[in-house]
Each structure stands twice: as C-alpha cells, then as structure tokens.
Amino acid sequence: MQIHKNNFKDNTMRKFVYLMISVCFITFSNNVYAESASGTIIMEFDLSSHNSDKEARLWIPYPTTNKNQTISNIRIDGNFSSSGVYTESKFQNQMLYSHWAANTKSRKLKFTFDVIRQEIISGLILNMMRS
C-alpha cells in the first residue's frame, strides 16, 4: 500500500511538472525565435495598352505599419492625372487610387516602399487552444 501512495505522489508531481512546462511553452512560444526580413517592394503598372479613348482607374492595396511590419520610404511615380490614398469604411483598409484621363496614351505608375517584416511563430498548443 505504501508503494501505491508514493507512486500516486510521483504521478501527481510528474503531472504538475508537465503542466508547468506546458504553461511555459504556451506563454513563451508566441514569437520565440522569430526573425525579421526586410527589403524594397517595387510594383510597376503599365495600362498603356488599354483603350486610350476612355479614362483609366487603378486601385492598389496600400501598405501600413503595424506590430508585425514597418513600412517606410513610400514613393509613387507616374504620369497619372490624379492620385491619392483612401481608406474604405468597413475594414479600414487603405488603397492607393490613381486616375488617368481619357485620351492619355501612356499610363504608367511605379509604387515603391521599404518594409521590415517580423516573422510570426505560434506555438502548436496555443493554436489548438484558439480553435
């Protein structure tokens, strides 16, 4: 009987240690060993082949800085008639809008920005708890 009680204590202690290891894993596994990547994004658009008798419009997702990425050095070059950054109301996404008037033969836009992106790593147990 005494052996059984010690075995119970050992199992309880083992379960407690596993629980503490799991808690530490869940707590610290998010963004553990995360690395960052950086670079320059260049997007070039040429709408010159479209019918020049009609106006042309271009909408491009506009990058924003948040907790996982930093956007800098944004450059917009082109021969558009007008251009601006707009935020849609439902999800607050930003878009770069460019417009070329009718009878414009060359329609080009170059959109460039620098980005530093933090890698996101989530722990397996944390993901299972969220589902």
- 52-75 confidence digits (pLDDT tens): 999 999 999 999 999 999 999 999
Write out the two tokens for 129. Answer: 């708890």
CA distance 28 to 68: 17
CA distance 63 to 41: 10
How much is the pTM?
0.67
Contacts made by residues 48-51, CB under 8 angstroms, sequence distance 24+:
48/105, 48/106, 48/107, 48/108, 50/107
Q: Please report the pLDDT score of residue 2 as a whole number.
A: 45
> Low-confidence residues of the chain, pLDDT below 70?
1-34, 121-131
Query: Please, are residues 53 and 103 in contact by the beta-carbon 8 Å criterion?
Result: yes
SS3 18: helix
Query: Please, are residues 80 and 60 in contact by the beta-carbon 8 Å criterion?
Result: no
Which of 42, 73, 72, 48 minimizes the C-alpha distance to 60? Answer: 42
SS3 25: helix
**Domain layout of the chain by residue ranges:** 2-30, 36-118
